[in-house]
Chain A
Amino acid sequence: MATNRVAPADVIGAQDRDPEAFRRVYFATADRIHRLARWLLGTADVDDVVQDIYVRAWDRLPELQEPAAFPGWLRQLALSVILRRRERERRRSGHEAPLAAAAREPQGGIAPGGLRLDLERAVARLPEKARQVFVLYDVEGHRHKEIADLLGISHHTSRSQLHRARALLKKFLTEEGS
């Protein structure tokens, strides 16, 4: 299992500015956060974005009221950083950029994982909005209302993009398997 459970004692330690506790928190959560950034953002500087997320987490941890809520809190913080970065790129390029080569060839950045690599490739082939909704709904467990708010789309669009994404993924994975 690549991602471990975060010990509440480590969260409390990190809140008390213990670097070793924060290191353990990082290693317990970084796989998941990196995948979230990789799938939503997909640019070559994903590693930098992940670092920014943890720097911000370090800065804001003292504000966290309930250590048990840390995993959800970290994901929200990560989403905030990632979606802002995406919006910035979109504004600069004037359109929604496709995933970068680094994301289309995930073997370079991810430890071998058999079928998981197929899923990585398939997700990278999804259209932008379908990929975002799929990641937020099926991977991260957000509801359509939350996704609509996060992405600035309607509930209906969120639903239709989810079904489109699933159908495309099934098609891509079938193609790869044949």
Chain B
Amino acid sequence: MKKIKSCIVPLIAVLFAFTVGGIIMGCLGTNPFMAYAALFTGAFGNTSMIAQTLALACPLMFTSLAAAFAYKCGVFNLGGEGQFIMGALGAVTFIELTNAKGGIGIAVSVIIGVIVGGIWALIPGILKIKRGLNEMIVSIMLNYVATLIMSLVYTNIFRDGSIPQTSEVADSLKLPFISGNFRVHYGVVIALILGIVLYYIIFHTSYGFKVRAVGDNPVATKMNGYKVSFIMLSAFVISGAVAGMGGSVELLGKQFRLQSGFGAGFGFDGVAIALIAELNPIGALIVSFLFAVLRKGATALQVSMGVPTAIADIIQALIIIFAVGGTALEKRKQKRVKTKTVVTVKGKEMAA
């Protein structure tokens, strides 16, 4: 019952956001019902479209899982984008230097992505616990640095010919499709498994309990003798590792090369998704899919009805605004009920 209840606020938020989005499109002279019909056929029209939507959801799943895990521990990792890019960069560097091939090449590339992403997240983590720096600012600054390093790599170091981009990865390194008819690469499966594993870690292991405890009340956790700063640091590194894995999977599964714009915006989208999903990994997977539907559909919408694709981003932001506002209102109400009961109980004691 409680689980069903916790879904109500996000669902209403989605409904509200679509309504406002519809009003905006209506004001521009587009029939919102036709527009949404075009949006959903664009995302679900046939199996090939569904497959493309899932492929779009894949990087979002990784970055949103990364964001959700860090926030569960009370550390705001806004550096998902940088860690994602660095993960992909690590994989590209490995591939360019060793000419690795086949399944082993894939496995090592992904593992390198995980490691490099984790290291990139280690920087804000260490600076937070050692120097007390705000992890949000540090991780955002590192996003810009990572983007520039990537630009350096595809324009100078591993440039392929006249266009500023790296060469395409070998065919044997590309992630295979699940089936010939349903052309979704296996990265989606990795993301789904990872989501379930993270859910299990957070809610069913003692480490996860500590992570949640630090997130809820770091002072109380410290008083109980847990190493709060170590737990925070580890959560940050795991978060970065997840994002880095996403970067290498996106490289091997969908983009096949680095070029301008790789990974742009995935970090903040992941944050948005994690917040709407109320930091639940399974929820994050579902919301990632919803966001991908919006993206994929918005492209179809632009082609068929001339509505700019940015409508998808606006609807996403509106979902956050309504979902988080709704949750806050709900919490405030519960608190009010609690204080009231405390007051009345006290009053009764006094009377007796």
Q: Do A and B bind each other?
A: no
Give chain B's interface residues, CB within 8 Å of chain A: none
